[in-house]
Amino acid sequence: MRGCGVIPRMRLPLTLLLGSLLLSSGCIVAETRPHRPPPRPPPPSRPVAMSYDEAVRRGFDQCRSRGYRCDLQEAHLTGHNVWKVKFRVNGRGEKGHLHLDYDAYSRNLIKVHDKVKDKGGRGWDDDWDGPGRGKKKGHAHRDD
């Protein structure tokens, strides 16, 4: 009966022992690793500072929106990340200077110093009945 596929008595316990060891090793041994947190996302990139050309262009846009004819006088970036753009205003009766400060990173208009005077006699007067009596002559209590 040797060729019929019957396992001899001696081999049976050894085969069972070997089989159970192989099967149990897969069930018993489990590698445990602590869960690693996902990698942090990179920090947001810092916005790019405004260039000279952009600061001047924004300044011209602001100047034109006020109805002035402007000539660039100066533009420079300070150590505090502020663009200072200065214009000379000349034409159509106005004369003076317009100084604009822009934040270099947010591009917000921080400060406007408008030193423009109307030289054509078309200035604003708070009276409805005439030009008033002039400077420091009791204009407030005599004219109104």
Note whether residue 14 is domain-resident: no
Note whether residue 60 is domain-resident: yes
Single-letter amino acid, residue 134: G
Indicate if the alpha-carbon torsion angle 117, 119, 139, 66 is positive or negative: negative
Note whether residue 140 is domain-resident: no
Give the count of domains, the chain: 1
Indicate if the alpha-carbon torsion angle 120, 126, 129, 134 is positive or negative: negative
pLDDT digits (tens, 9 = 90+) for 52-62: 999 999 999 99
Reported confidence tier of residue 144, pLDDT bands at 50, 70, 90: very low
Note whether residue 64 is domain-resident: yes
The pTM is what? 0.54
CATH of the domain at 72: 3.10.450.630
Mean pLDDT of the chain, nearest integer: 78
Comparison of pLDDT for 15 and 121, the residue scoring more: 15
Percent of the chain beyond pLDDT 70? 65
Residue range of the domain that includes 108 = 52-117
Note whether residue 141 is domain-resident: no
Note whether residue 136 is domain-resident: no
